[in-house]
Amino acid sequence: MNDKKIYVTEPSLPPLKEFIPYLEQIWESKWLTNNGPFHQKFEKALCDYLGVKHISVFANGTLALVTALQALKITGEVITTPFSFVATTHALNWNGIKPVFCDIEPETMNLDSEKIESHITPQTTAILPVHVYGNPCNMGKIEKIADIYGLRVIYDAAHAFGVKKNGKTILNHGDLSILSFHATKVFNTFEGGAIISKNEKMKKRIDFLKNFGFAGEVTVVGPGINAKMNEFQAALGLLQLKHINKEIAGRKKIADYYRKELNNINGITVLPEIEGVKHNYSYFPILVNKEEYRNSRDELYNIFKEKNIYVRKYFYPLISEFPTYRGMESAHSDNLPVAFRVSQQILCLPIYPGLESNDLNKIVKIIKEYQ
């Protein structure tokens, strides 16, 4: 057996020689955290690259989401998706908020905007959709519903770094948008995250909350948390921005190859490209329909694993199936038929610029051989 292992993604890092001068500056300044010079430069550079006016960077994306809910003073119930990484719902739980699960669209796997209203109760205060795999939600419909019922909208945009629709960033939608800079993401700072807000007043509130609530040397304005990004992460982020366009272009080549090779295989569904969307190709998901394909999703997964190719059942199981949440009424499978079906079929294939052509060919060959 070949000992080489292939994973769904490989962390992207800039050349070490570019990072060393930044490390030397941090060492000499002895300013390691607490809104240092690299932190400030990084926030400005992100605003310029992403096309947003106000951004607050965080130690990680989960802390950013927890803080966003605090900043908007969300309580009661929040309508969200079961088809996401568990941090989406955990952030609600940590704030004492009840998640209410709504089904997803079969084409995009995002929260189904047509089903949101049926879950609204007098206790509902917000909607928490996820731009799954970087595919934009139906933001117009979601925000129209929110306006009618007086609800807040917070987008979990962990997968959506740099994604645009009709030439404009999707990160300016809703009340707040949350990014993740985890090592597995298209853009990473080892760990990290950010909140995009619409005005300076909200950014200041968020910045207070991520630093224990301090608004001055001796003034605490709220029950904040320690969620600050340190100077090492910020320095890495500045360097990563220099290479991000090349990173996305490399991923696009792989996505284009997959689409060309896999589009006409019975039982294998490739997600359609959304018109007008400039994607970041953060993941390449396929659906495996065991009624049409020779193997089930799990059988194909095991075939890959035996060959040291570690594809990912992402997202499986649904958040609503975990013990913490499965007792909730909205978690029942009858309420989430599309999400349950998709979670049983989903498989994310390796996609990163360092993926060699012979490995890419091997992945496609396996899918074709076992059809």
DSSP per residue, 10-38: ------HHHHHHHHHHHHHHT--SSS-HH
Q: Where are the domains of the chain?
A: 16-240, 244-369
- What pLDDT is attached to residue 3? 72
Q: CA-CA distance, 77 to 214, in Å (whole number)? A: 29
Among 184, 175, 88, 68, residue whose Cα is nearest residue 132: 88
Task: Give dist(CA 81, CA 99) in Å, integer.
Answer: 9
Q: Cα(26)–Cα(20) distance, rounded to whole angstroms? A: 10
String of DSSP letters for 317-330:
S-GGGSTTTTTSGG
Q: What is the per-residue pLDDT for 2?
A: 57
Same fold, 16-240 and 244-369: no
For 242, list phi and psi in degrees, rounded to 5: -70, -20
5: alpha, beta or left? (left if phi > 0; alpha if psi -120 to 50): beta
Token pair 């740099």: residue: 162
Please state, in angstroms and rounded to a whole number, the distance separating the CA atoms of residues 238 and 255.
26
The strand pairing partners of 155, in sequence order, are 177
Contact in structure between 191 and 182 (CB atoms under 8 Å): yes
pLDDT of 370 reads 83
Contact between residue 193 and residue 180 where contact means Cβ atoms under 8 Å apart: yes
Side-chain-side CA neighbours of residue 83 (13 Å): 26
Q: How many CB atoms lie within 10 A of CB 33?
A: 16
pLDDT at 371: 80
Task: Kindly give the parts of the chain with pLDDT less than 70.
Answer: 1-2
CA distance 16 to 278: 30
Token reading at 202: 């909200």
Residue 324 burial (CB count, 10 A): 14
Bridge-partner residues for 176, per DSSP? 154
The top-level CATH class assigned to 16-240 is alpha beta
Task: Please name the CATH architecture into which domain 244-369 falls.
Answer: Alpha-Beta Complex (3.90)
Residue 274 half-sphere exposure, CB side, CA atoms within 13 Å? 21
- The number of residues making up the chain comes to 371
